[in-house]
């Protein structure tokens, strides 16, 4: 998995993630938006909203992987 971009909007309390999987190669990317409650649920570690300013790509990758264990991949978007 490659994380292309991510950011947390503290006003809407949503995490926006653009990523691609190995199967997507360089042809597609996917967008995932998670509410803070979803972030808490799928987070591989205990997290507080104040921690969201310090998340890194590894955290986001782990979060998306956890999310995908229970959900389907988001639809593809052509690059």
pTM above 0.85, yes or no: yes
Q: Is the pLDDT of residue 8 over 90?
A: yes
More confident residue, 53 or 7: 7
Q: What is the largest CA-CA distance in the chain?
A: 35
Q: CA-CA distance, 28 to 3, in Å (whole number)?
A: 12
Residue 39: other Cβ atoms inside 10 A: 22
Mean pLDDT of the chain: 91
Q: CA-CA distance, 43 to 34, in Å (whole number)?
A: 11
Q: Cα 8 from chain centroid?
A: 10
- Kindly state the tokens that stand for 75: 């639809």
């Amino acid at each position: 998995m490659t994380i292309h971009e991510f950011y947390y909007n503290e006003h809407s309390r949503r995490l926006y993630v653009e990523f691609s999987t190995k199967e997507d190669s360089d042809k597609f990317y996917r967008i995932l938006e998670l509410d803070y409650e979803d972030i808490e649920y799928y987070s591989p570690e205990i997290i507080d909203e104040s921690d969201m300013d310090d998340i890194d790509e590894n955290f986001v990758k782990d979060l998306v992987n956890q999310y995908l264990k229970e959900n389907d991949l988001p639809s593809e978007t052509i690059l």
